[in-house]
């Protein structure tokens, strides 16, 4: 029995049918894989993947994202993070400092023709170590409150120096010192009186 040889077109038709069936099976498998692994979690629920890299060193951007609250994983704003970074982990923010010793604000200069002490701290200390010119004390800086104190110590540079004062200084019980004594420390103590809006001198002493 003789067999008729296959023509080129017959071969093409047979192979075409085979490849079409193969492609259909591949498409079916891809669809099944996508349904079961691409958009489904292990419990069968739908989900979508992140469209940004989250590997170490990446900088993904998330918009309108809600985070579930969790211990040590709470979200804060940049401003809140700054506050947290500047706060001790032992500071509750409502510490009672009544009865605690005030921390003085200290200023020390060698010389100035218009000395300008601070006045807005509870305790202000101002020191001149070598006054080399006549000095007119300016009103203390800042906004003082009733009871703030100001302590001034003056030492000249070996020559007596004239002293004058802004009107906010009040001698109260004595005349404000008008000059230094050569190479002698001069101490003055003031308390701010909010009723009179004056720094009232309550102590004055000069080194012997």
Q: What is the pLDDT of residues 135-187, one digit of tens each?
A: 999 999 999 999 999 999 999 999 999 999 999 999 988 899 999 999 999 99
pTM score: 0.55
Q: Is 109 helix (H, G, I), strand (E, B) or coil?
A: strand
Angle, CA 176 vertex, CA 175 and CA 181 arms, to 5°: 110
């Amino acid at each position: 029995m003789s067999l008729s040889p296959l023509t080129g077109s017959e071969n093409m038709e047979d192979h075409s049918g085979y490849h079409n069936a193969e492609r259909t099976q591949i498409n079916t498998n891809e669809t099944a894989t996508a349904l079961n692994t691409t958009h489904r979690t292990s419990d069968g629920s739908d989900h979508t993947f992140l469209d940004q890299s989250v590997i170490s060193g990446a900088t993904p951007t998330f918009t309108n994202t809600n985070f579930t609250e969790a211990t040590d994983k709470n979200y804060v704003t940049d401003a809140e993070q700054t506050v947290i970074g500047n706060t001790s982990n032992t500071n509750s923010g409502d510490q009672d400092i009544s009865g605690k010793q005030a921390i003085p604000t200290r200023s020390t200069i060698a010389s100035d023709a218009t000395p300008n002490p601070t006045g807005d701290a509870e305790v202000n200390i101002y020191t001149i170590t070598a006054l080399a010119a006549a000095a007119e004390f300016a009103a203390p800086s800042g906004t003082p409150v009733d009871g703030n104190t100001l302590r001034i110590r003056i030492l000249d540079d070996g020559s007596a120096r004239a002293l004058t004062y802004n009107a906010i200084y009040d001698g109260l019980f004595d005349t404000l010192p008008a000059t230094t004594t050569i190479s002698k420390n001069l101490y003055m103590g003031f308390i701010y009186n909010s009723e009179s809006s004056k720094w009232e001198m309550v102590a004055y002493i000069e080194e012997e």
